[in-house]
Structure 1
Amino acid sequence: MSTEQTHEDAGPARQPDWWHRDHPTFTAITGFFTGLAYIIVVPGLYYAVLSWTFDDRQAEDLFPFVLVSLAVPLGLVVSPRTRRFGLYMSLGVVATALVVIGVALLVLWILVYRDADLSTSL
């Protein structure tokens, strides 16, 4: 048996065993983490492009238009083929936004409360 026959009999290359796209949690996990990355990366890149393109005043005025990017998860939810991915992506977006806002409010509250205690003790 020659080496040419061995390569022909091998068949098409197989994907690794850990890559199970048909697994029920694959879509959920990829959708959630896509939403997590989406809510963090998109506004940052949007502001970076605006600041490179326009002066600071105009970039700050145009920044609220980043909310238009929230149409992407909503568009995925509307389409029946991508509905499950879109729902989990939306869940990732909302969960990340709530965590970021919650932590920011907690830190702000601690700083204001600590500042109030320091000013009364002087």
Structure 2
Amino acid sequence: MSQLRPQTADGEVDVSDERRPNWWHRDHPIFTPLSGFFSGLVFMLVVPGLFGAVLETFFSQHTVTDLFPFVLVALAVPVVLVARRRTRRFGLYFVLGMVATAAVVLGVAALVVWLMTATA
């Protein structure tokens, strides 16, 4: 079923008022913090794994272990986001998402190691 569009006085369809879908509220005050935080979370989880998988596809295991530290070049993304005035708010929440993800992963890893060594 096609969406009804407003018509002008002479009966032509008015296409000048193209609207976003109703659920897409970019002007909402929570949109930027949520999208930045979850983008940072996904970035922190996906980029190292994807980088390692691509390296492993093309190189031997020894070369992959030598080249894997170059994934740190990806940290230029949040630095650029925070440095630019227009993307600074998004970038700060992006960094917050990355830091929160790293803290949770390291905290859980430390707890698991502690539990494994304490019960042994």
Q: Scaled by the length of structure 2, what TM-score is found? A: 0.85
**C-alpha separation between the residues in 2 aligned to 1:10 and 1:61?**
56
In structure 2, do the counterparts of structure 1 residues 58 and 22 end up closer, same or farther at CA, with 3 Å as the change threshold?
A: same
| Match status 1:51 vs 2:56 | yes
SS in 2 for 1:8: coil
Gaps spanning 5+ residues in structure 1: where? 116-122
**C-alpha separation between the residues in 2 aligned to 1:105 and 1:17?**
44
Superposition misfits of 4+ residues, deviation over 6 angstroms: 4-7
Q: Percent identity among equivalent residues?
A: 55
| Cα distance per residue 1:3-24 (max 9 Å; x no partner) | x976715764432222110111
Say how many residue pairs are matched: 112
Greater CA radius of gyration, 1 or 2?
1
Q: Scaled by the length of structure 1, what TM-score is found? A: 0.84
**C-alpha separation between the residues in 1 aligned to 2:44 and 2:63?**
22
**C-alpha separation between the residues in 2 aligned to 1:86 and 1:14?**
27
In structure 2, do the counterparts of structure 1 residues 9 and 54 end up closer, same or farther at CA, with 3 Å as the change threshold?
A: closer
Gaps spanning 5+ residues in structure 2: where? 1-6
| Match status 1:87 vs 2:88 | no
| Match status 1:21 vs 2:30 | no
